[in-house]
A and B are shown apart, each in its own frame.
Chain A
Amino acid sequence: MMDLQLPAWATWVMLAGLAVFLAMMILFIRRNHGMKRSLFASPYALWMAIFTILPCILIGYYALTDASGKFTLDNFRHFWDSNYAKNQLYATMGEAAAPFIKRGTVNVDTLIYSLWMAFLCTVICLVIGYPAALFMADRQMKLGATLVVLFIIPMWMNFLLRTIAWMSLLEDQGLINRVLRFLGFEGVQLMYNSGAVLLGMVYNFLPFMVFPIYNSLNKMDPKLHEAAQDLGCNNWKTLYKVTMPLSLPGVISGITMVFMPSVTTFFLPRILGGGNTMMFGDLIESKFLTEGNWNVGSALSLIMMILIMISLGILRKADPEGEGGSMI
């Protein structure tokens, strides 16, 4: 047995939770009626409260207070102008300091850059992923099942390992460059730029685009294709008039599942981008861990969350039946 080093109180809390859960299961089995259903959800509600709702409240609290705990909107001003604190100081120094008051745009720029990268990543995933899903769902293709497995296997590996594996390919002394040099070409700088980051993002998020689309294609009644052909569609028109519209819920779900994590990507840019590119996730991380400024960090997180909620809302609108939304 592994030696679990847990504080005594945590063990007791867990045992108590288990006891409550078991007691309720027994009650549920013994008398199916009369008891409020919602009671059974309470362990999960408790979990959500501690690990989802409480952190959100904390982020909101930190975002709206300063270091001394007083209410302030300065954290958001920091987002808009990264030189805010310095500029406040200059402002008190009168006319002479005016030329030095410049807005620091790094936060906003990073956000825009992140959104742009996420957009590119989503588009590329869609362009690569849709045909892949089509192949996988094609029942006449024996290759389809193999392709499904090939897409799943990399997901068994840790995200970090997968990314680091790319490093050994792309590095200056990496496999690709060595092959190029062996063939007599010049080595190419593949790492430490936006392209490498984008490649890493697409590689990591592609399955999240492929599988929802694959699911929606797989669910489709193959007779619908025959019906379309029967009514005069050739293969292209069948794809365009029947298959694509019917796979839209899968596409929207795929876009959601790629875009959301893409915007918040962090760490990956540091490995493949080598610090030359920074995305919003890295920015938030550095506020918390490097600068130790929880208040500004929280404000940035809040802005990120609001952006994500807005885009979720837009995607929900496009897929009112909620087929895509149910995947998240």
Chain B
Amino acid sequence: MEESPRMIYLENISKEYDGVTVLSDINLYIRKKEFVTLLGPSGCGKTTTLRIIGGFEYPSTGRVTFDGKDITSLPPYKRRVNTVFQKYALFPHLNVRDNIAFGLKLKKMPKNEINKRVDKMLDLVNLSGYGKRSVDSLSGGQQQRIAIARALVNEPEVLLLDEPLGALDLKLRKEMQLELKSMQQRLGITFLYVTHDQEEALTMSDNIVVMNAGRILQIGSPKTIYDEPKNAFVANFIGESNIIRGTMVRDELVHFCGVDFPCVDAGFGNDKPVDVVIRPEDIVIVGEDIGQLTGTVKSVLFKGVHYEMMIEAGGFTWKVHSTTMQPAGSRVGISVVPFNIHIMHPMKEDESK
């Protein structure tokens, strides 16, 4: 991705509610026209971070800058950002058209210009002809689109989205994911998206910020986050994984389950404890005699695209995804190519909370 200029900076942001720390020392920047996702389990502080950028909360310490200007204590109505709320927060006393026109009317824009823009927005979200409807008469998906249109019509520089697809069913959600992504690319607006759904994050984002317990654990592209998780939490949260405690014997050689495995990572030092991540789809089932480890298939589950097998080998139960099935009880060998063994620094206790 080409590097566009950085627009929003969060510097040393901390937030406390009644002595409880919800954010501790967040540092983050967001580039222009980027699709950034804050990802993490509920209570990790992702929504609070978004609300600080939106102006609905003020950080206890630290500052927020927008194009170099300090906006830390600026009220929401003076910020050039708009928000799509989790439960849409459409105004029930206004019809669809007036909901979308709300922001423009406040700006005292001429009537015909407002009408033109609202029509364009209704078109963009595929709801032209719904202008006169009351918002209560719309389905969840339609209300969602209206909420997006209401925010986008103001041509914000940044659109903040707080789990906007959380209330939709799976199929609609997938559709909206693609729609949102293409909308973002067409309009060239920065999207800051909050979700706890790792798949959603991987599908839509340019960059993902993984958060837990008020901290940022890792920032990176979806591919980096998936392939090179920084610690066991990220590895576990993004996709499925086998995480084993091991020892780095020396560069490019790691020891776990009683066996030395060649790998590609280096720089951890000699005989240092590490966490080893192996994705279930990276484990190859081979003949009993040629595997790096030998074990027994404990259970088999059919998952559609692949089988999920639990294989006990070397004192660890491995989760293995494969398109060919080995019956439960059979003896198999498993092996992993060096490239697919990912070494991480062991997690400190307080990060796993």
B-contacting residues of A (Cβ < 8 Å)?
221, 223-224, 226-234, 237, 241-242, 245-246, 248
| Chain B hits for A237, CB < 8 A | 106
Q: In the complex where A232-B77, A233-B77 touch, is A246 in contact with B83 (Cβ < 8 A)?
A: no
Task: Determine if A226 and B77 form an interchain contact, defined as CB atoms under 8 angstroms apart.
Answer: no
B33-56 interface bits toward A, Cβ cutoff 8 Å, 1 = contact, 0 = none:
000000000000000000000111
Q: How many residue pairs at the A-B interface have CB separations less than 8 Å?
A: 61
Known: A226-B89, A232-B103. 4 other contacts (CB 8 A): A223-B89, A227-B83, A229-B75, A230-B54
Q: Given A229-B77, A232-B106, A233-B106, answer yes or no on A242-B82 (Cβ-Cβ < 8 Å).
A: no
Are B91's CB and A230's CB within 8 A? no
- Kindly report which residue of chain A lies nearest to residue B83, judged by CB atoms: A230
A231 contacts across to B, CB distance below 8 A = 77, 82, 102-103, 106, 150-151, 154
B353 within 8 A of A: no
B91 in complex: contacting residue of A229, A232, A242, A248, CB < 8 Å: A242
Which B residue sits closest to A234, measured CB to CB? Answer: B77
- Identify the closest chain A residue to B101 (Cβ): A231
| B75: A residues at CB distance < 8 A | 229, 234
Q: How far is the CB of B346 from chain A (nearest CB, A)?
A: 41
Contact of A245 among B54, B89, B93 (CB under 8 A): B93
Q: Flag if A224 contacts B89 (CB, 8 Å).
A: yes
Cβ–Cβ contact A223 & B77, under 8 A: no
Enumerate chain B residues within 8 angstroms of A248, measured Cβ to Cβ.
Answer: 93
A interface SS class: helix
Given the interface pairs A224-B91, A246-B92, the reply to whether A229 lies near B106 with Cβ below 8 Å is no
In whole angstroms, what is the CA distance A224 to B135 when docked? 14
Alpha-carbon distance A226/B107, docked complex (angstroms): 17
A227 near B92: Cβ-Cβ < 8 Å: no
A227 touches B77 (CB 8 A): no
Closest approach, in angstroms, between the C-beta of B323 and any C-beta of chain A? 46
Shortest beta-carbon distance, A222 to chain B, in Å? 9
Residue contact A230 to B106, C-beta cutoff 8 Å: no
B250 within 8 A of A: no
Does chain A have a CB within 8 A of B226?
no
Q: Across chains A and B, which 4 residue pairs bring their CB atoms closest together, nearest first?
A: A231-B103, A223-B89, A227-B89, A229-B76
Binary per-residue interface labels of chain B (67-99) against chain A in the complex, 1 for a CB within 8 Å, 0 otherwise: 000000001110001110111011111000000
> Nearest Cβ in chain A — how far from B66, in angstroms?
15
Task: Report A-chain residues with C-beta under 8 Å of the C-beta of B92.
Answer: 246
Give the CA-CA distance A322 to B154 in the complex, in Å: 35
A230 with B76: CB separation less than 8 A? yes
- With both chains docked as a complex, state the minimum distance between the C-beta of A41 and any C-beta of chain B, in angstroms: 32
Tell me the minimal C-beta distance from B104 to chain A in angstroms: 9
Set B56, B90, B102: member contacting A226, Cβ < 8 A: B56
Residue of A nearest to B76 (CB): A229
Residue of A whose beta carbon sits closest to that of B56: A226
**Given A230-B54, A234-B75; A223-B106 close (CB under 8 Å):** no
Task: Give bound CA distance, A221 to B88, whole Å.
Answer: 11
The interface residues of chain A lying within 8 Å CB-to-CB of B76 are 226, 229-230
User: Taking the nearest CB of chain A, how far is it from the CB of B266, in angstroms?
Assistant: 49
The residues of A that contact B81 with a CB separation of less than 8 Å are 230
A231 to B87, CA, bound (A): 16
Complex Cα distance A293/B151, Å?
68
Nearest Cβ distance between residue B55 and chain A, in whole angstroms? 8
